Amino acid sequence: MTTPATRTVTIGGDLAVGPIGYGAMQLTGPKVWGPYPDHDHGIALLRSAVDLGVTFVDTADVYGPHSNEELIREALHPYPRDLVIATKGGFVRGGPEYTDLGAVGNRNYLRQAAYLSARRLGLDHLDLYYLHTPTMTDAPFEEMIATLAQLRQDGLIRHIGLSNVSGDQLRTALAITEIAAVTVHYNIAERGGAAVGQIARSTGIVFSPWHPGVIPRDENARAVIDPIAAEHHATARQIALAWQLHRGEHTLPIPGTTSIEHLEDNIAAGRIALSPTEVAAITALAAEEV
C-alpha cells in the first residue's frame, strides 16, 4: 500500500518537498520571546531534521523575534539544495506579554521585513514568504497582497503564502495574484481552518496546518482514534498526523517539537497508510465533509 512518505508536495509548481515539514517556532524563548535557551540542542535538532529527510522548514520574523531565523541560518547554512525555508512577515509583538498586537502591513514595512528576513537567513531570495496573520493592520488587505506581488516581481520572493487567513481573504488574494501556500491552525480537534483547506484542495494550493498533531480529549474521539493507533502500532498523535496527510496530496503539515525523539515519531507518521474507512471515521468526528 502506498504511504504519504513516498510522495512529494509541490509548492507553486516548481518546489518539491517532502510530505512532513518542521515548524521551528518552539526553538525560541518562553512565550516565543528571545533566543532558544539550549542553543546547542536547537542546532542539533535542526540538523537532525534535515538528516531525517525534512526538506521544508517553517519560521517567521516574529519568532524571537528574529532569533529563530538566525538559529536556522547558523544550523543549516549553506543550505542543502533541496531544502525550502518558508518565513513570514507583517505580524508584530511588543514583548513576551503582548501576544496579539496585530499586523503592520504598509508597503514600506512589509518590504523591509522581507528583505531583513532574507538577510538573517543568508538568502538572496525567499522561496516562500507568508503574510503573517493580517489582522488589525494599518493597510487594506488588498494593498498588502499587492506589495507581496511586487516583491515577487522584484525577485525577492519566489512564491507568496498566506498565514492565518479566512476563506474570504484567500479568495480575495487569489483574485489579485497567485498564492502558492496557506498555513492555518487545523487538526482533529480544531477545524477552524477547514474552509481554507477546502479552497486550497480545490485550487492546488499547498495547505500547511500548524499544530497538526493535536488530538481531542473527549472519550468519543479517543474511542475512534485509539483503536486505529493500536492497529498501526502507532501513537494517537502519529495517527493525527497521518490523517492530515491523507486529506489531500497538497497537504504539508508542519509539526514542531524540541525533542529529537518526537521529531523521529513525526517523520515516521508519514509511513502510516490509513484505510479510507479510517480516514472517514476520523474526519467524521467533527462532521466535516469527507
Closest among 4, 10, 41, 19 to 254, alpha carbons compared: 19
Q: Which of 22, 36, 63, 109 is catalytic?
A: 63
Q: Are 5 and 52 in contact (CB under 8 A)?
A: no
Q: E strands within the chain?
A: 9-11, 15-17, 22-23, 56-58, 84-89, 126-132, 157-163, 181-183, 206-207
186 is annotated as an active-site residue = no
Grid coordinates standing for 3?
504511504
Burial 171-199 (b: 16+ CB within 10 A, else e): eebeebeebbbbbbebbbebbebeebbeb
Closest among 62, 56, 42 to 120, alpha carbons compared: 62
| Residues forming the active site | 63
